[in-house]
Amino acid sequence: MKEVLFNYDELKKEEIDELIIRTKGLIINSNNEITLGYCHKTYQFPGGHLEDNESLEECLLREIKEETGMEIKNYTMKPFEKITHYTKNYRNTDKNRENIIYYYILKTDDKYNNENTHLDEYEKLGNYVVKTIPLDKVEKILIDSIPDNPINQIIVSEMLEVLNEYKRINNK
């Protein structure tokens, strides 16, 4: 599994105050389309925070169900990349945060179901929707979204890294 560290603030491990672990999934169907969440003018791979006593795979399936309504039954899933972010004074909390995100490839033809989602208030306020985009068009769509929200510079950079690794290991 490829590991990448983003450390723009040049923090040392001993300067980290808190650790957050997340999972995210590249949900790809047999038509070579990818499922993304779109909220607050930002695209994201579906996923979220690991809860107590939950495996990474359980977290990913729960988060996908919450964000897409998909109760995935027929799938293959495997982790392929781990991205770590060190962030100084995370969101003005006076805490330095280590965010670890495990990325999985999840191939399924299950469809998203907006009637079955369980969105949080932030997602509801941001008009969260699920979009299915052809894989060969997603990079341009992400790059074109950078000016829409200041956080997109960081998010799109990470998403492009993950997409490039997916393509590399799948020889696409």
DSSP letters of the chain?
A: -EEEEE-TT---GGG--EEEEEEEEEEE-TTSEEEEEEETTEEE-SEEEPPTT--HHHHHHHHHHHHH-----S-EEEEEEEEEEEETTGGGSS--EEEEEEEEEEE--PPP-GGG----HHHHHTT-EEEEEEHHHHHHHHHHHGGG-TTHHHHHHHHHHHHHHHHHHTT-
Task: Calculate mean pLDDT across residues 38-58.
Answer: 95
- pLDDT single digits (tens) 161-172: 999 999 999 875
2-169, CATH topology level? Nucleoside Triphosphate Pyrophosphohydrolase (3.90.79)
**Which pLDDT score, from 0 to 100, does residue 113 have?**
85
6-13 average pLDDT score: 94
pLDDT tens column, 68-80: 999 887 677 778 9
Residue 6 confidence class, pLDDT cut points 50, 70, 90: very high
Q: Where are the domains of the chain?
A: 2-169
Q: What pTM did the predictor assign?
A: 0.92
* Per-residue pLDDT tens digits for 82-116: 999 999 999 899 999 999 999 999 988 888 888 88
Give the pLDDT score at 172. Answer: 53
- What is the structure's pLDDT at 158? 95
pLDDT above 70 covers a percentage of the chain that reads 98
